[in-house]
């Protein structure tokens, strides 16, 4: 009890159960597990499907094991079969029908579905259904047809007839049974006769003979005429008859026919369309190409392909048929008998397999049990749960699995443990709403056996929810009211209560209903997106429950400079967005959104948003001639490749420079650019020229060799004009004449002079323009203003423009 007081109330039922179960288990003996005298009933023999001959006796087997006395009765088509001189229940439980009757002259037919029903003081069980049908034989609906064949060829006869049980088909030639030892004669169970390697003595009249326990029938005669030998000319392989689609039950025999002709005689082979091997166990080839599968199983289902191949070639013809194998329902998990204290939950599980998948139903003492109340079915009816069990739930429960191939059943018993001296149910249970999330439940103690009560357990669930969503809260034995919190507003709840003692739980009190009070909804979360210079998009979470309580959303908006709102705009609770258009691009707007229901309006969510930034961004994005980003994207890969070529060429020049000595100290910038630096982008992003000097000033350029080109000061000034007087704008470099219609430069250009003594190459550095393309250019750095100031000594590290 100390642990009970220390634990939170939500855990009290778990702590109470260990105290309750041991005394209960000591009060009642557990049911015996022996089959001969077990408390639950079990079928040792169940009836099976059968075919009966009219006028003959029929016996349906049934034997039951359980605690005597056991009463056995029979049902026909779901109705109890009365005892009579026509049908009698034998001492062992079997049913004997003395003279099986058909529906003739108004007398009832004995055909139908039979069930054996066994009952003792613990419950009732029902056997599987056994279908009894009368033996019949119809007329032939396909008779064999006359055939003409060449010597060495193939002849085929076929007859079809329906009957119960399935007729046995044999053949006669000239009224004499065919010799089945002749390898050239192949008799298929489905009523087909194949004759290969025809000879003159095969000519004659053939009859099909069908027989079963009901009758024997003979077909019309069909003449076989064998002509002279064939010409021996080549004939393409041809499949005369291919496999048919078959639907069988496990353990039956599948016959897949394949008759092929051709000259030379084709070779017949079989395969599965899915590529899986056919196997060898139970597989044989009958005649020249018929596939026989004995004792079929579900794994044999599939599409089978018959192929007729011309020997020594890849010429072939194919035909295919589908085999479907069904399996009756069988259990992979049987329900187990259980004992549970009253007021707790009992669960039975059974799992069945079959092809097609079986349907599972539950029976309670032989009656169909459906979901409802405290009974729940889950997992495709494979799990049966009974909550709050009482004496009325004590019974034998059966799981019945059934499909088109057959049915099966399994049973288990539920024993409800009930102790003497338990208190009665709590009385006068009332529930009163306190707020939108709280309900106060009160009750009075039971009338009898109250001294041993150790606590109460309150069971709570939404009135619209199924019983499995119920939850419990434990209450002290001296408390007769409990405040249930954390409930949902405007929601109906169901409450009932039980009293617990060390012996067990009382029966449940009468349930009571109460609805929480309503409240105005909370402020909705709101976000705003600017779609354009005059359009806003408002986004929030939809609340479908508002529609259930006559509610929705109200939207207001106004320019911040005004005092009155536009609105309300009424929106349903399922809407989650709204667009405001035709707004003032220069204004700041205040947007307000609130939710409402029948209890009133909730607090509003307010947002301020400015459209001025969007309009300014639109104005600051004119159709400029600068296409820097586009050009950069187009030339980035090309620039990398060209840069690699420039680096390799530079290394080669350095090696030549070291080998031949320093014969020349100046490389012409114009030649280097023309030979090594093809343009990497539009001229608007490149400087008109590249100059490399080896630490020499303008006046230090000495005479060049005869084969070397001279660069004078005028050419250099043309490439790099001197800066003007202070205060004059720096002249922009002019595009080369070869550049057609070069666009105006939109960025500042910095030049880094590098010495060729370290194999440096002058490269331009461009920084991304921060201002639009209009307006005066920014002033150049001081080192760029005077083209006479060139880098001396070691080459400076090149700088890279940031993108």
| C-alpha–C-alpha distance, residues 185 and 197, integer Å | 9
* pTM beyond cutoff 0.85: no
Instruction: Write down which residue in 276, 297, 318 finishes a domain.
Output: 297
pLDDT of residue 150: 87
pLDDT score at 639: 61
- Asked if residue 94 has pLDDT above 90, the reply is yes
Sorting pLDDT into bands at 50, 70 and 90, what band is 137?
A: very high
Residue 193 falls inside a structural domain: yes
Which of the listed ranges 7-21, 93-107, 468-482 does the model predict with the highest average pLDDT?
Answer: 468-482
> Quick one: pLDDT at residue 85?
84
Give the H/E segment covering residue 21: helix 12-27
Segment 217-223 shows an average pLDDT of 95
Structural domain contains residue 795? no
Structure-model confidence comparison of residues 314 and 800, the more confident one: 314
Whether 382 and 332 have beta carbons less than 8 Å apart is answered as: no
Residue 147 belongs to some domain of the structure: yes
* Domain assignment of residue 247, yes or no: yes
**Together in a domain, 280 and 183:** yes
In the prediction, which pLDDT does 765 show? 34
Q: Are residues 343 and 269 in the same domain?
A: no
Contact between residue 212 and residue 164 where contact means Cβ atoms under 8 Å apart: yes
Beta strands in 102-146 (DSSP E): 112-120, 123-126, 130-134, 136-137
Check residue 233 and give its pLDDT: 77
CA-based angle 233:237:238, to the nearest 5?
115
Listing from the earlier edge strand, what are the strands of the sheet with 254-256?
254-256, 290-293, 283-286
Flag the least confident range among 128-132, 391-395, 768-772: 768-772
Interstrand relation of 492-501 and 504-505 (parallel, antiparallel or unpaired): antiparallel
Confidence check: pLDDT of 558 > 70: yes
| pLDDT band for position 344 (cuts 50, 70, 90) | confident
The pLDDT score that the predictor gives to residue 429 is 95
What is the pLDDT at residue 736?
40
Mean pLDDT of the chain: 77
Q: Is the pLDDT of residue 316 over 70?
A: yes
pLDDT at 228 over 80: no
- Summarised one tens digit per residue, pLDDT across range 613-644 is 665 554 444 444 444 444 444 445 566 767 78
On whether residue 31 sits in a domain, the answer given is no
357 and 479 share one domain: no
CA 231 to chain centroid: 62
Summarize the confidence of residues 124-151 as an average pLDDT: 93
The per-residue DSSP string of 660-719 comes to S-SS-S-B-HHHHHHHH----S-GGGS-S---BBSS--GGG--PPPTTSPP--HHHHHHH
Are 353 and 329 in contact, with CB atoms under 8 Å apart? yes
The helix (H) or strand (E) run that includes residue 407 is strand 406-417
Range of the domain at 358: 334-417
**pLDDT(742) > 90:** no
- Kindly state the average pLDDT of the residues 108-122: 92
Check whether residue 503 and residue 593 sit in a common domain.
Answer: no
Q: Is residue 504 part of a domain?
A: yes
- Report pLDDT digits (tens) over 236-290: 899 999 999 999 999 999 999 999 988 888 999 999 999 999 988 889 888 889 9
Do 497 and 577 belong to one domain? no
Q: According to the model, what pLDDT value does residue 397 have?
A: 95
Task: Assess whether pLDDT exceeds 90 at residue 295.
Answer: yes
Q: Are 292 and 150 within one domain?
A: yes
Collapse the DSSP code of 5 into the 3-class scheme (helix H, G, I; strand E, B; otherwise coil) and give the result: helix
pLDDT at residue 755, as a whole number = 38
Residues 6+ apart with CB under 8 A from 732: 745, 777
Could you count the other beta carbons within 10 Å of the beta carbon of residue 322?
Answer: 14
Q: Is residue 219 part of a domain?
A: yes
Q: Are residues 156 and 283 in the same domain?
A: yes
Q: Per-residue pLDDT tens for 693-740?
A: 333 333 333 433 434 334 444 443 443 444 444 444 444 444 444 343
Q: What does the alpha-carbon distance between residue 365 and residue 4 come to, in Å, rounded to a whole number?
A: 40
Task: With CA atoms as reference, report the closest residue to 610 among 718, 514, 536.
Answer: 536
d(CA 91, CA 119): 15
Q: Are residues 373 and 491 in the same domain?
A: no
β partners of residue 349: 383
Q: Does one domain contain both 380 and 400?
A: yes
The pLDDT of residue 329 is above 80: yes
Of 457, 482, 515, which residue sits at a domain end?
515
Residues 201 and 285 in one domain: yes
- Last residue of some domain: 492, 515, 538? 515
Q: Return the pLDDT at 762.
A: 32
- Return d(Cα 443, Cα 425) in angstroms, integer: 10
- Do both 247 and 146 map to the same domain? yes
* Domain count along the chain: 5
pLDDT band at 548 (very low <50, low <70, confident <90, very high): low
CATH of the domain at 453: 2.60.40.10
Is 562 a residue whose pLDDT tops 60? yes
Lowest-confidence pick of 332-336, 399-403, 566-570: 566-570
User: Residue 567's pLDDT is what?
Assistant: 87
Terminal alpha carbon distance of the chain: 75
Highest mean pLDDT among 157-166, 334-343, 622-631: 157-166
pLDDT for position 501: 87
Kindly state whether residues 506 and 545 are assigned to the same domain: no
What is the percent of the chain with per-residue pLDDT over 90, rounded to a whole number? 44
The answer to whether residue 779 is domain-embedded is no
């Amino acid at each position: 009890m100390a642990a009970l007081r220390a634990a939170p109330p939500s855990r009290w039922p778990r702590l109470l159960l260990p105290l309750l179960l041991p005394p209960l288990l000591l009060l009642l003996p557990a049911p015996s597990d022996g089959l001969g005298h077990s408390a639950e009933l079990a079928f040792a023999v169940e009836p099976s499907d059968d075919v009966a001959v009219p006028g003959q006796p029929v016996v349906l087997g049934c034997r039951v094991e359980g605690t005597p006395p056991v009463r056995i009765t029979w049902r026909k088509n779901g109705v109890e079969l009365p005892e009579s001189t026509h049908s009698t229940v034998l001492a062992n439980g079997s049913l004997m029908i003395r003279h099986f009757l058909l529906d003739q002259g108004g007398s009832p037919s004995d055909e139908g579905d039979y069930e054996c029903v066994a009952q003792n003081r613990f419950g009732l069980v029902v056997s599987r259904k056994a279908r009894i049908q009368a033996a019949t034989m119809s007329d032939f609906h396909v008779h064999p047809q006359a055939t003409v064949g060449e010597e060495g060829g193939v002849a085929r006869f076929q007859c079809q007839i329906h009957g119960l049980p399935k007729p046995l088909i044999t053949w006669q030639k000239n009224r004499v049974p065919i010799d089945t030892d002749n390898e050239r004669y192949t008799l298929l169970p489905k009523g087909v006769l194949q004759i290969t390697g025809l000879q003159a003595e095969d000519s004659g009249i053939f009859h099909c003979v069908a027989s079963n326990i009901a009758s024997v029938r003979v077909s019309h005669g069909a003449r076989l005429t064998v002509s002279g030998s064939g010409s021996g000319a080549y004939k393409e392989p041809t499949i005369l008859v291919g496999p048919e689609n078959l639907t069988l039950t496990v353990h039956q025999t599948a016959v897949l026919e394949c008759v092929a002709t051709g000259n030379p005689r084709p070779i017949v082979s079989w395969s599965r369309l899915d590529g899986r091997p056919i196997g060898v166990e139970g597989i044989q080839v009958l005649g020249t190409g018929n596939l026989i599968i004995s004792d079929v199983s579900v794994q044999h289902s599939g599409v089978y392909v018959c192929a007729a191949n011309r020997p020594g070639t890849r010429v072939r013809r194919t035909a295919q048929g589908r085999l479907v194998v069904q399996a009756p329902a069988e259990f992979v998990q049987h329900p187990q008998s259980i004992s549970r204290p009253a007021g707790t939950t009992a669960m039975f599980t059974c799992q069945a397999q079959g092809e097609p998948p079986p349907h599972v139903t539950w029976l309670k003492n032989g009656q169909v049990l459906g979901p409802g109340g405290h009974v729940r079915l889950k997992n495709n009816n494979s799990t049966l749960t009974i909550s709050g069990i009482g004496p009325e739930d004590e019974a034998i429960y059966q799981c019945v699995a059934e499909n088109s191939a057959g049915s099966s059943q399994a049973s288990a018993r539920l024993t409800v443990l009930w102790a003497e001296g338990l208190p009665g149910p709590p009385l006068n249970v009332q529930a009163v709403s306190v707020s939108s999330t709280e309900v106060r439940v009160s009750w009075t103690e039971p009338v009898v056996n109250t001294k041993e009560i150790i606590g109460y357990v309150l069971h709570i669930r939404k009135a619209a929810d199924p019983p499995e969503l119920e939850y419990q809260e434990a209450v002290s034995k001296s408390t007769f009211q409990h405040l249930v919190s954390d409930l949902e507003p405007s929601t109906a709840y169901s409450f009932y209560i039980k009293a617990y003692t060390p012996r067990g739980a009382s029966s449940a009190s009468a349930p009571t209903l109460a609805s929480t009070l309503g409240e105005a909804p909370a402020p909705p979360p709101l976000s705003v997106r600017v779609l354009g210079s005059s359009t806003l998009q408002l986004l929030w979470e939809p609340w479908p429950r508002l529609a259930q309580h006559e509610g929705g959303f109200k939207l207001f908006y106004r320019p911040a400079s005004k005092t009155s709102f536009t609105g309300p705009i009424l929106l349903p609770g399922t809407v989650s967005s709204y667009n405001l258009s035709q707004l003032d691009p220069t204004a700041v707007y205040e947007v307000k959104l609130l939710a409402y229901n029948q209890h009133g309006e909730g607090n509003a969510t307010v947002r301020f948003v400015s459209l001025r930034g969007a309009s300014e961004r639109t104005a600051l994005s004119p159709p400029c001639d600068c296409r820097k980003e586009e050009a950069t994207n187009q030339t980035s890969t090309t620039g990398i490749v060209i840069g690699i070529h420039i680096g390799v060429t530079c290394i080669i020049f350095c090696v030549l420079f070291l080998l031949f000595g320093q014969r020349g100290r100046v490389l012409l910038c114009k030649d280097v650019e023309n030979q090594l630096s093809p343009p990497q982008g539009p001229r608007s992003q490149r400087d008109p020229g590249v100059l490399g000097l080896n630490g020499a000033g303008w006046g230090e350029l000495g005479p060049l060799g005869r084969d070397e080109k001279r660069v004078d000061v005028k050419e250099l000034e043309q490439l790099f004009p001197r800066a003007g007087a202070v205060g004059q704008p720096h002249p922009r470099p002019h595009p080369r004449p070869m550049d057609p219609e070069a666009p105006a430069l939109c960025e500042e250009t910095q030049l880094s002079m590098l010495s060729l003594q370290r194999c440096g190459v002058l490269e331009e550095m461009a920084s991304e323009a921060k201002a639009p393309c209009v307006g005066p250019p920014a002033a150049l750095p001081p080192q760029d203003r005077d083209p006479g100031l060139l880098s001396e000594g070691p080459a400076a590290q090149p700088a890279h423009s940031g993108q």
